[in-house]
Structure 1
Amino acid sequence: MTRLHGKTALITGSASGIGRAVADRFAREGARVIIADRNADAAAAVAASIGETARAAVMDISDETSVAAAFADLVTAGWSPDVVVANAGVQLFGQDAKIADLDLDVWRRTIDINLTGTFLTVKHSVRAMLAAGGGSIILTGSPTGLNGEGADFTAYSASKAGIHGLTRTVAAAYAADGIRVNTVVPAYTETGLVSTISEDPESRAAIVGRIPLGRAGTPTDVEGIMVFLASADGEFATGALFAVDGGMTSL
């Protein structure tokens, strides 16, 4: 598998969950991978497990100084990414709520990380790619930004809807520069992020019951579409949402 041979890919939030799975797959497909995460030790451990084709980068996506410094260090080291997966985010279970019950601090924290953090990641990715002559940016969306799945998650749903809109805007602005921007929309995917649901049989059954294929998603379910979008196979795809959700948003 060498569909990404010669590519350098940065994946945010890749010390665990979907990001970790995508980083592993990209490496198997021949890419150099940058494990970008705010947890320095975890990022270093994942990079070490992949080997010499991986590098750790400490990045707090909600802090522009941190993001800018990480990209500058990578460019200086000869690791300027031509593929970026803006995947890092939070979902504040037990705090996010219906809008009448939602604390402003929870709203701000969610938006700061999920939406502003994605904005900063994409901003500095575009700057690097303009200098390099193009690239592919892939954002991680959510069914909550498309339908009523997020009725109890006002801040999270709004942040993901914003990401979907950001995709189209940036794709239109930089298509002529050879920069493609797309969003992958996974279904409910069982990672540490959603342990509050996965460890509650009733809640889990309720959400899995709304997936026509009849099971929860796994991190590996989104690897293939991300390889496609990162590779030459996806060179005519930009500004699009790719749902890999077991039919969840088709209903």
Structure 2
Amino acid sequence: MGERLHGKRALVTGAASGIGRAVATRFAAEGAQVVFADRDLIGAEQAVQDLPGAVAVRMDVTDEDSVRAAYEQVLTDGAPLDVVVANAGVQLFGQDAPIADLDLEVWRRTIEVNLTGTFLTVKHAVRAMTGRSGANRGGSIICTGSPTGLNGEGRDFTAYSSSKAGVHGLVRTVAAAYAHEGIRVNTVVPGYTETPLVTAISGDEASRAAIVSRTPLGRAGTPADVEGIMVYLAGDEASFATGAIFRVDGGMTSL
């Protein structure tokens, strides 16, 4: 592993498991000082074991006081925060549904975590990154999107699809508003990626086969498939990339 993020400080939400944990761990391997942020503090603490310089903080992305406190904790020493990955999310299998059958509380819970949680994470990331100059100017914010926010892949997941479409729109808006500050904001769209979030699919042979069949590369994704593009966007190689959608979905949204 190289040192492409040497000297950078990064915060990743949802870092106790799945894509978030894989990305945060890869950032550490690439030389970054990484904050593993998650509402599951025990899981985050377990994730940082044996990672020198990595720390765990509790952050409930649906609670602005929790988000604010986590950022304040991270920034106490005055060192800049260069990268934030807004990754925390939920997909309520067995509850999310086509709109005529969707319960309002399922809608609200999904939007609260996926869209409002991203809003709060990005809001405080921007506050941490604005007004800096010289080598510390700006930063990179990366949000985790979904194919369901781009096409009809999530037709049975009204709340989840809508929340991720909202994230895509939020990224474009924030990227345009803060480019003058040197803050870059991009979306990474993983395809079907086997993590604890999707056990309802991965544990059902027929469902898994159906979604893999819609992926031109012919296999499920893994968290490791997402790490590389996140490293690129976090680093200086991506200094001219902002407001964009980077698809790592095995070709799913190319159809």
Q: Same fold (TM over 0.5)?
A: yes
Report the equivalent of 1:25: 26
Secondary structure, counterpart of 1:49 in structure 2 = coil
C-alpha deviation, 1:50, in angstroms: 1.6
Report the equivalent of 1:247: 251
Aligned partner of 2:30: which letter?
A: E
Secondary structure, counterpart of 2:252 in structure 1 = coil
Q: How does 1:49-88 map to 2 (within 5 A)?
A: 49-51=50-52, 53-78=53-78, 80-88=80-88
What runs of 5+ residues in structure 1 fail to find an aligned partner? none
Rounded Cα–Cα distance in structure 2 between residues aligned with 1:14 and 1:131: 28
What is the aligned counterpart of 2:210 among 191, 197, 206? 206
Rounded Cα–Cα distance in structure 2 between residues aligned with 1:78 and 1:48: 24
2:111 is the alignment partner of 1:107: no
Report the equivalent of 2:94: 94
Which is worse superposed, 36-45 or 232-241? 36-45
C-alpha deviation, 1:48, in angstroms: 2.0
Report the equivalent of 1:225: 229
Rounded Cα–Cα distance in structure 2 between residues aligned with 1:153 and 1:25: 30
Contact preservation (8 Å) 1:4, 1:29: yes
Secondary structure, counterpart of 2:217 in structure 1 = coil
Deviations 1:27-61 (A, max 9, x none): 1110000000001111111112323x101110000
2:201 is the alignment partner of 1:197: yes
C-alpha deviation, 1:78, in angstroms: 3.9
C-alpha deviation, 1:77, in angstroms: 3.1
Report the equivalent of 2:178: 174
- Aligned residues with identical type, % of pairs: 71
Deviations 1:107-164 (A, max 9, x none): 0000000000000000000000014431000000000000011010000000000000
Aligned partner of 1:9: which letter?
A: A
Q: CA RMSD in A?
A: 0.8
Aligned partner of 2:227: which letter?
A: E
Aligned partner of 2:58: which letter?
A: V
Contact preservation (8 Å) 1:71, 1:80: no
Secondary structure, counterpart of 2:130 in structure 1 = helix
Report the equivalent of 1:11: 12
Rounded Cα–Cα distance in structure 2 between residues aligned with 1:168 and 1:125: 15
What runs of 5+ residues in structure 2 fail to find an aligned partner? none
**Structure 1 runs of 4+ with >6 Å offset:** none
Secondary structure, counterpart of 2:251 in structure 1 = coil
Report the equivalent of 1:45: 46
Which is worse superposed, 191-200 or 129-138? 129-138
Contact preservation (8 Å) 2:131, 2:181: no
Contact preservation (8 Å) 1:4, 1:227: yes
Deviations 1:159-200 (A, max 9, x none): 000000001000000001000000000000000000000000
